[in-house]
Structure 1
């Protein structure tokens, strides 16, 4: 991973590597800082796992690079996460050293307890009562410590959308293969500027950082306020590469930022993290007509992304399901299987299993592996939990989570299909349907945005397409759908809200 930055350093030594608001750091400056910090880490005990407790700050970016230069494992930690969650992550990952920015230092006392023994790299902030590692010049430390492909680069935590977050050790090998695939199909270069929308604790941010640095390009941090006038922000910073969750599209649209040609400076638009709707793509590309657009798919356990689909207009619409863009072809060098609920392999539809060089060997806690990592045909496979359908040419289409199928009065209902039908109803912008248990069986509750529509009209719209068992019992209008820390729709929050409804 450090080699990708060194490649960018060769291409763009005096160009900006990172821009955070008014703060700009060149490749050479970031390299020098990372060497100094890494030398200080190594000379004080060579830590194995270093927590970077930081937001999208210069300290955060320098910290990531310094840990990799030291040959250690990066554990990104978000300062705004609940203290108990961060404390658990640190203990599970074995963090004994922390690099923190101002925001991280402010919460450090809350995220540690009497059993937490850490040292803090002294980057100029106030570490309170914690022992510190002084930063000093180390003339002998002139290059990153060599690593091998099987070494851990990062320990990342799953989003926890289906339970307690799990610790995923991601190897240099997995990232290397991912970026080799990226470099083959994307023409990023030193003149490009990449918009960083993801927090550094979320694995798509790793794509942003090392996709940009491997090309000698510039990272520009996108603050939430930028969505108020996204065209102006993109034009002002000369952004050429956009990467966000699909929710970034509706945020821009709500603020009037998707007028025809408004995002004309974009060369690439990349979306991932949740299902991407075809209508959203069409709206985005009307504003960014010169942009290539990719939908990317991949769990943390498969090193950022394991498949991609390049938008091709009507062809993409035909290959998708429920109005969503296909997730495309699995990266070269990997095998995949589609497995039915009965455990039979299918050539058409089933749960996606993947094996290959991007797959992590298992969770940090082996007890978490059960049900996710399985042995089959003499190989280890990762079960994604996602139901997909294969087009005849091998392009995969996402249907939904395996656990998003519910039974209502004995009939099997795919919630994603209900959502798709409701989005077609006049006045509805987006819809998310959840299930809750009642005394009379399972009830479907839909949360939707857009105009407030009479419930009878929404019910008629569903009833015209789907069986009566798929008709939700309630429709709740929201101004916006809640997002979790990773800017995905927070389905857990919606399920809790549904469960709290009277009756």
Structure 2
């Protein structure tokens, strides 16, 4: 039988639920500008009508190419209301990367702020851009969608030297947010941060957890991080979300004094390994807050495990000082596979269930990322995980060369590939080392001609986002090899940890 729309399965219905709970309440605040749920809903219907007018057959996918702004937030809603797939993009990425993502996602219309319009012009793609001032007949109601329809596409770093498009369905998000509704006690009186970039999947957590409960999201300006406790006090912030590396910066700014953030009720961290020391310091600074370590690849709908930090029990569960990632969401199965592909208590984490992507936009990217087992399709996370006696999982590291830099997934092979395109470079090997403020940073070893670091950075900045730009470049005559005659990246990483930033 053909699939039919299922009430409650559309991602945009999260906003409609919030509209019903708090129609006159604030839905969006950006600096001094704000919109109520009613105002945002009416504006989204008008802009959805305008998007329909741009593509009479109905927009297939709509890119939101904008900084965190009313234009961006209403643009996301408008695209969903129009029945289109949302493609959130960072307008400050290199033009070549943006062009590739727009093309791969088959974007048929663009919502852009001034920065986004300039970025789109640099791609030289002739795509229609929504004119917010142009008159348009608003939609009477948001479009119906199927659970299998794609709600949004997000791009992750790809080992082939190009970003991978990850489509996520309305049905996957419905399962996810239904679970979160049962796990957390969010309500209209909460105030949510909107801290991460809109092209980062955790932004969906911030937006649709808030909107689904009639609560506002407040865009966090960069300057606020210099005195986060004061910003929280001013806004009466109750729900915070960031990558763990943000904790180190806030500590340096003096923001982690005991009791400094008394208004927080929930604090979420994801995108990188959370250190027990950081979790403990945050808990002390926000004594009234639950602190959770969340884990999940984009391919499994934002997050798929969670561990609630407990000062009394969590420290004993850490491995290498890293907080556990918790248990896998209900409705899913998981298995840890050892090097022989057999189930074990330590190995690669593989998961199957309703939060899994149907597959990458480019079918070639599916190779090696999915596993057929027991008559089901499983997603291979590439993460090495250990199961504790109580069933919780702890993250041990990547099986491959994928790392997290400032919450941004980076394939070291993609950095290698891009460096090799630089004039004079013959080959490249990228490794990580601890960053001074916490987290990781990239160090590139390369062969060929010696090139000034400034020249390499300038070339790479045209192709890679800021988070993927190496901090240090080291010229070598040849790479060290291990016993298997492969580049000894372990040795390079150890050397990188001892390098000075001033070395060429």
Tell me the distance in 1 between the aligned counterparts of 2:360 and 2:141: 31
- The alignment partner of 2:313 has SS state of helix
- The alignment partner of 2:279 has SS state of helix
**Are 2:249 and 2:437, in contact at CA under 8 Å, matched by a contact in 1?**
no
The equivalent of 1:179 in structure 2 is 177
Tell me the distance in 1 between the aligned counterparts of 2:434 and 2:309: 28
Q: For 2:166, which of 159, 162, 168 is the aligned residue?
A: 168
Q: Tell me: CA distance 1:253–1:163, structure 2 relative to 1, closer, same or farther (3 Å).
A: farther
Tell me the distance in 2 between the aligned counterparts of 1:206 and 1:447: 29
Q: For 1:321, which of 319, 322, 328 is the aligned residue?
A: 319
Tell me by how many angstroms 1:300 deviates: 0.5
Q: For 2:99, which of 69, 75, 87 is the aligned residue?
A: 87
Q: For 2:114, which of 93, 98, 102 is the aligned residue?
A: 102
**Are 1:96 and 1:117, in contact at CA under 8 Å, matched by a contact in 2?**
no
| Post-superposition CA distance 1:368-414 (Å, at most 9, x none) | 00110121221111100100000122100000111269xxxxxxxxx
Superposition map of 1:60-459 within 5 A = 60-111=72-123, 113=124, 116-124=125-133, 134-138=134-138, 141-160=139-158, 164-346=162-344, 348-403=345-400, 446-449=433-436
The number of residue pairs the alignment matches comes to 422
**Are 1:320 and 1:398, in contact at CA under 8 Å, matched by a contact in 2?**
no
The CA RMSD measured in Å over matched residues stands at 2.7
Tell me by how many angstroms 1:186 deviates: 0.6
Tell me by how many angstroms 1:313 deviates: 1.8
Tell me by how many angstroms 1:350 deviates: 0.2
Q: Comparing both chains, which one has the higher relative contact order based on Cα–Cα distances under 8 Å and sequence gaps of 6 or more?
A: 2
**Are 2:242 and 2:269, in contact at CA under 8 Å, matched by a contact in 1?**
yes
Tell me the distance in 1 between the aligned counterparts of 2:50 and 2:436: 51
Tell me the distance in 1 between the aligned counterparts of 2:312 and 2:335: 27
Q: TM-score, normalised by structure 2?
A: 0.79
**Unaligned regions of 5+ residues in structure 2, if any?**
1-10, 405-411, 417-428, 439-460, 477-498
Tell me by how many angstroms 1:316 deviates: 1.3
**Unaligned regions of 5+ residues in structure 1, if any?**
125-133, 406-414, 417-433, 452-483
Tell me by how many angstroms 1:493 deviates: 2.1
| Post-superposition CA distance 1:470-493 (Å, at most 9, x none) | xxxxxxxxxxxxxx9xxx995772
Tell me the distance in 2 between the aligned counterparts of 1:251 and 1:489: 17
Tell me by how many angstroms 1:499 deviates: 6.1
Tell me the distance in 1 between the aligned counterparts of 2:155 and 2:334: 24
Q: Tell me: CA distance 1:399–1:499, structure 2 relative to 1, closer, same or farther (3 Å).
A: farther
Tell me the distance in 2 between the aligned counterparts of 1:78 and 1:448: 24
| Post-superposition CA distance 1:253-284 (Å, at most 9, x none) | 01001111110110000000000000001111
